Amino acid sequence: MNDKVFAKPIKKQFEFDEEVAAVFDDMLSRSIPFYEQSQDITKYFALKALQNGGIIYDLGCSTATLLINVKRELKSDAKLVGLDNSEAMLNQARKKALAFGAEIELKNADILTYDYEKANVFVSNYTLQFIRPLVREELVKKIASSLKKDGVFIFSEKVISHHPKLNKDLIEHYYDFKKEQGYSEYEISQKREALENVLVPYSADENIKMALNSGFSHCEAVFRWANFTTFIAMK
């Protein structure tokens, strides 16, 4: 289904409800530049870390596209777990997993309080930015402590620049991208308003510093387009 969520006046802040879940895959592909490429590099590092089996957690798994793609190419007996607190998203994920014959555990859970097993991989695609800054680093610390030695945390985030002009230019360039994908000025402004105080991005440097402060030995960007970045943090 095509994303027309913000073609009408908004009545509430953004949330991952049934209306959003129904069009979420289209929303992602048209709202995040080079989304497939960032997913591909995430899948690559995840598969490398799961060569001998183990566990991967996808935090905020939404419709489970990443896990389904990992499962399709997986050569080992690994456990794939997708966590999300939106039942609407999980319903879409279950339908897709069934259609693709992908054996994935999908759970309605709070990623802040979930009792993780020791894992080889954690993935977070545009999820941390929806976690309140006061507890965001605590979650990353929990991820680090739940990873096995040599485990990896791969996460993608919308980022900001602390240089005012550069940040403004990056945003304008991004809005040009969205217009090229068929979104109107009205839809763009409606979504921006709905996400106000819901999505709180950090800069690239702040994301890296957070990972290092949380127990990771190394963190760097492996893919970036303007203000969208994929990072890998290594235990």
- Model confidence at 142: pLDDT above 80: yes
- Model confidence at 17: pLDDT above 60: no
Residue with tokens 């030995």: 217
pLDDT one-digit tens code per residue, 151-164: 999 999 999 999 99
DSSP 94-148: HHHHHHHT---EEEE--TTT--PPPEEEEEEES-GGGS-HHHHHHHHHHHHHHEE
Whole-number Å distance between alpha carbons of 126 and 56: 17
Spelled out in words, what is the top-level CATH class assigned to the domain 18-234? alpha beta
CB 56 within 8 A of CB 78: yes
Whole-number Å distance between alpha carbons of 136 and 210: 9
pTM: 0.89
198 band by pLDDT with thresholds 50, 70 and 90: confident
Whole-number Å distance between alpha carbons of 178 and 124: 23
The distance in angstroms from the start CA to the end CA of the chain is 39
- Percentage, residues of the chain above pLDDT 70: 89
12 band by pLDDT with thresholds 50, 70 and 90: low
- Give me the helix-helix angle, 204-213 and 133-146, nearest 10°: 50
| Segment holding 73, helix H or strand E | helix 65-73
The mean pLDDT of the chain is 90
R_g over Cα of the chain: 17
Phi and psi at 196, nearest 5°, equal: -55, 125
| Residue partners of 68: CB distance under 8 A and separation at least 6 | 96, 97, 100, 102, 104
The amino acid at 186: Y
What residue ranges do the domains of the chain occupy?
18-234
Please give the pLDDT value at position 20.
53
Whole-number Å distance between alpha carbons of 219 and 235: 9
Whole-number Å distance between alpha carbons of 228 and 155: 11
